A and B are shown apart, each in its own frame.
Chain A
Amino acid sequence: MRHIISILLENEPGALSRVVGLFSQRNFNIETLNVAPTEDPSLSRLTVTTVGDDRVIEQITKHLNKLIDVVKLVDLTEGNHIERELMLVKVKALGAARDEVKRTADIFRAQIVDVTPSVYTVQITGDAGKLDAFIQAMAPIGILEVARTGVSGIARGDKLLTL
């Protein structure tokens, strides 16, 4: 099963490489990885999506917790949560395709954020499934480039991941 694990990480040099290194060292899989500072300058938040059975996920969280730079973590998929990813896509937009791109973008509530005579750059947010569907829809028209942020997430309700 797919899991979304969010981690509060010490904002120390090398901390990220310990997390990433752990995944390759122990043969765990990383589907997406997203990391950025938080409101607390001493902490970064890292979100990783991974796939594995319960045994593997248990090992992943235990080994992550063992890293000295990992302060706290949560497997968001264990409860209700919000999952978001942002994607920028450059699509070929010539002739009739210009309208087609626009229409499809509207259906997905995506925005066209940059335009040239031959290219539309589209921005879309959503869960990973929605972004995948958008790529599929655009593929016949001609995708030129894709940039995805990787999944970020947060628990629903009052639950917090803080110190």
Chain B
Amino acid sequence: MELLSGADMIARFLKDEGVERIYGYPGGAALHIYDALFRQDSVQHILVRHEQAATHAADGYARASGKPGVVLVTSGPGATNAVTGIATAYMDSIPMVVLCGQVASHLIGEDAFQETDIVGVTRPVVKHSFSIRHPSEIPEVLKKAFYLASTGRPGPVVVDIPKDMTAPTERYEYVYPKKVKIRSYNPVTRGHSGQIKKAVDMMLKARRPVFYTGGGIVTGRASEALTDLVQRLGFPITTTLMGIGGYPQGDRQSLGWLGMHGSYEANMAMHHADLIVAIGARFDDRVTNNTSKFCPTAKIVHVDIDPSSISKTVRADVPIVGAAGSVINEMISLVQDREPANPEALGEWWKSIDGWRAERKGRLYEPSKPGEALKPQEVIEAVYRATRGEAFVTTDVGQHQMFAAQYYKFAKPNRFITSGGLGTMGFGFPAAMGVKLSYPQDDVVCFTGEGSFQMMMQELSTCKQFDVGVKIVNLNNQSLGMVRQWQDLNYKSRHAHSYMESLPDFAKLIEAYGFTAIKVTTHEELAPALERAFADTNELVFLDIYVDPFEHVYPMQVPLGSMRDMLLSKTERT
């Protein structure tokens, strides 16, 4: 029998749980835990420069690896600084465990120094939370936290740890709990066989089917099964922004991603479909546009592990509660020796889709000519080529995010890492750090904008300390481009606070940390800059690329319209 203090139990539990790395920032209420971390070397602690970055870094790691990211912060301001990152993970169903120091139990409720009710503050943005009430509970509560965070529909779990729970003088028996049971929590795995059979019958009879898949394919590790099913049936497939890479984007059956800035052919196909097979996607407003005009001729099969996602915004005709992988495998076994009943109709359907594709090809964007400012889109395409399409890509939020999603093509899941649900500026750079630390052999590229980068640029210091060689591609349009686009479209180009006055000289800023920065202002400078930037996978390089500030992201769905109502350029609409 081993007697450990609460703090030592935490360090020991993390080791036993297989956690290699945590992200955090110390402070009074967490100091016993920090001392325990100091006295061991199994778990590496990455000291960030702002707690929000700790959550985004853990989140980036979780999205790339599928395992829960772990964060340690102190009470009060440490914990409140983490809230944006917790909410970001919550909206995208990312597994994360956040350990928060808290003032000692006897001080709780007295407005003690650095006291906040973090369980209360985070309640609407966590999957669950715990407060430790006795040190001996620590192993079991932590096991429950990891179990909840990473099973079912994943999400962040907060564990509030009053300082006296980790006191070095109080020691209790430590046993690593291999398993925990929570009586009210039994996430489903298999879907209802009758419903699956019904869905497959509809799929085989469909004349204009589309698969519409989301982040559930990525978190559910179901992309191989999905690819198999989709290819057997020969149906077109579109993914959500979160589902990118769940099906190889270079494949002929892939229509790209759908929704507000999704591809023309994906939105057109959805609108005209007679059957939509949604798997691990949640019909959110950035996808459906106006739900009352959504896909008027389609029947809907909806597979999701979370029953509350089904029929939340759009009514499902065949609801199936189950894990994506298991349901897809059951579908595969049902379609095994059967053929779609309407091959001619499917042929016609593909003809329409190929027609939309051809229409779109002509109007992507106008590439720059020598001497002109670069277009953001062509920068993404050039980075795609420079990294052979194999990099981990993180993004911030704005136009650059949409361009990255549109022009970098992903063949695999877990490679495109973006804040889809919350749209958190500042996410990209720390998320890239989290990925790079765990995937040192890979290129990790963060596409950012000068607005977003300035929200988390203090993390350059973390990169310096831990030698994190991410590539930062700043698509510098000298404006809050996405805001400006909306102002152009909806406010007669009144650019209220969407320009970036007094931009720093990013190159000098980066150099102050001892890193390489390359400023690119013309077409000609791009290729050599990329060659230099990607010469060494482990070197942090910042590319400050001046791009056309007047570019808009298209297609763009027209507000209150249907899926097919899109602006296609500054002058054309469907």
Contacts and interface: CB of A to CB of B under 8 A. Distances in A.
Interface of A: 10, 13-14, 17-18, 21, 25, 55, 58-59, 62-63, 65-66, 68-72, 163
B308 A18 contact: no
B184 A21 contact: no
B194 to A, nearest CB: 20
B308 A62 contact: yes
Interface residues of B, number: 19
Contacts of A10: 184
Contacts of A58: 311
B494 interface: no
Interface string B109-133: 0000000000110011001110100
B307 interface: yes
A46 B128 CA distance: 19
Contact of B307 (A18, A21, A62, A69): A62
B131 A14 contact: yes
Given A14-B119, A63-B308, A69-B184, 12 more contacts: A10-B184, A14-B120, A14-B131, A21-B124, A55-B311, A55-B315, A66-B306, A68-B127, A68-B148, A70-B184, A71-B184, A163-B183
A72 B186 CA distance: 12
B508 interface: no
Sorted nearest first, the 7 A-B pairs with minimum C-beta distance are A62-B308, A71-B184, A68-B128, A25-B124, A62-B307, A63-B308, A21-B123
A14 to B, nearest CB: 6
Nearest to B148: A68
A63 to B, nearest CB: 5
Contacts of A62: 307-308
Q: Is the interface of A mostly helix, strand, loop or mixed?
A: helix
Given A69-B184, A71-B183, A163-B183, A13 B131 contact: yes
Interface string B124-164: 10011101000000000000000010000000000000000
Interface in B306-327: 306-308, 311-312, 315
A66 B186 CA distance: 10
8 contacts: A10-B184, A14-B129, A21-B123, A55-B311, A68-B128, A68-B148, A70-B184, A163-B183
B146 to A, nearest CB: 14
A70 B184 CA distance: 6
Contacts of B183: 71, 163
A59 B315 CA distance: 12
B496 interface: no
Contacts of A72: 184
